[in-house]
Amino acid sequence: MTVLLWIVYTLFGIAAVLTVVRIVLGPSILDRAVASDVLLTEVMCVLGADMVINHHTDTLPVLLIIAAVGVFGSVAIARFVARRDVEAPDDPGGASGPARSTRDGEAS
């Protein structure tokens, strides 16, 4: 059982290090967002494995909070990227050309 525990924690540790490398290197904000979601999922898996191995449910509220933070963070990043994509990337002033419409039908 101890050998299996070390193998599991080693694999999760390697995955976490590789995920942090992806967060640091990027190259885009979406790559970083996906990597941060993966890191949160890895933390949740480690906590879940700890609960199964040690036969307790003490960290269940922590799992729920991490899941909520991950969902809200992903939604916030998606809205930020969508708002940035609506703005004219080739027209920094935004004064020329027709008005672009957003998802809700409002003119920007």
Closest CA to 66 of 35, 40, 33: 40
CATH code for position 38: 1.10.287
Share of the chain above pLDDT 70, in %: 80
Closest CA to 5 of 53, 56, 48, 73: 53
Answer whether residue 101 is part of any domain.
no
pTM of this prediction?
A: 0.70
Q: Tens digits of per-residue pLDDT, 18-45?
A: 999 999 998 888 889 899 999 999 999 9
Answer whether residue 67 is part of any domain.
yes
Q: What is the mean pLDDT of residues 83-87?
A: 74
Answer whether residue 56 is part of any domain.
yes
Confidence of residue 103 (pLDDT cuts 50, 70, 90): low
Domain range spanning residue 72?
2-86
Answer whether residue 98 is part of any domain.
no
Q: What is the mean pLDDT of residues 80-87?
A: 77
| HEC secondary structure over the chain | CHHHHHHHHHHHHHHHHHHHHHHHHCCCHHHHHHHHHHHHHHHHHHHHHHHHHHCCCCCHHHHHHHHHHHHHHHHHHHHHHHHHHHCCCCCCCCCCCCCCECCCCCEC
Answer whether residue 100 is part of any domain.
no
Answer whether residue 71 is part of any domain.
yes
β-bridge mates for residue 107, sequence order:
101
Distance, in Å, from the CA atom of 102 to the CA atom of 87, rounded to the nearest integer, reads 9
Count the domains in the chain. Answer: 1
Answer whether residue 95 is part of any domain.
no
Answer whether residue 18 is part of any domain.
yes
Decide: 86 and 100 in contact? Cβ < 8 Å.
yes
